[in-house]
A = this chain, B = another copy of it.
Amino acid sequence: MAKGFHIFPVGVIRKTGDGAFLRIYKKYRKALVGLEQFSHIHVLYWFHKNDIPQKRAVLQVHPCHLEENPLTGVFATHSPMRPNPIALSRCRILGIEDTVIQIDAIDAFDGSPVIDIKSYFPPQEPPETIRFPQWKRNT
């Protein structure tokens, strides 16, 4: 098997009655400088509940857990079951206080490990050139 790589959490997702937050560890405070100039970020986090061999071996799913959606390869979906259970969400920044970023929403469990944050730039291409299947239109 090919050589693997090691990643580690840089923070944790917290969902409370007050909203959704990324609590970045203090040691990464400097890595957040300048983020306040962006309205949106890509958040990469770990589907920690799916980090078991059986779930990492699943290669096809019915998207959105709907049996009527065709069996589809996980690389063509955003399923939490995938060889490397990395999640990617685009989020709006509502505020940043020290190392805590409040975001609009995120489809993650409270306690999910954050593994990276990247500032978001809009695509250059016109939206009408982007093609995707019917099952996504229905969700």
Contacts and interface: CB of A to CB of B under 8 A. Distances in A.
Interface of A: 1-10, 24-25, 28, 30-35, 37-42, 44, 46, 51, 59-60, 70-78, 82-84, 86, 88, 90, 92, 113, 115-123, 125, 127, 129-133, 136
Given A42-B88, A120-B132, A121-B132, A113 B2 contact: yes
A120 B130 contact: yes
A3 to B, nearest CB: 7
A39 B131 contact: yes
Q: State the oligomeric state as a number of copies.
A: 2
A127 B116 contact: no
Nearest to A12: B2
Contact of A83 (B3, B37, B78, B116): B116
A34 B72 contact: yes
Of listed A5, A9, A74, residue having the most chain B CB within 10 A: A5
A50 to B, nearest CB: 11
A130 B118 CA distance: 14
Contacts of A84: 7-8, 10, 44, 115-116
A7 B86 contact: yes
A77 B119 contact: yes
B51 A83 contact: no
A129 to B, nearest CB: 7
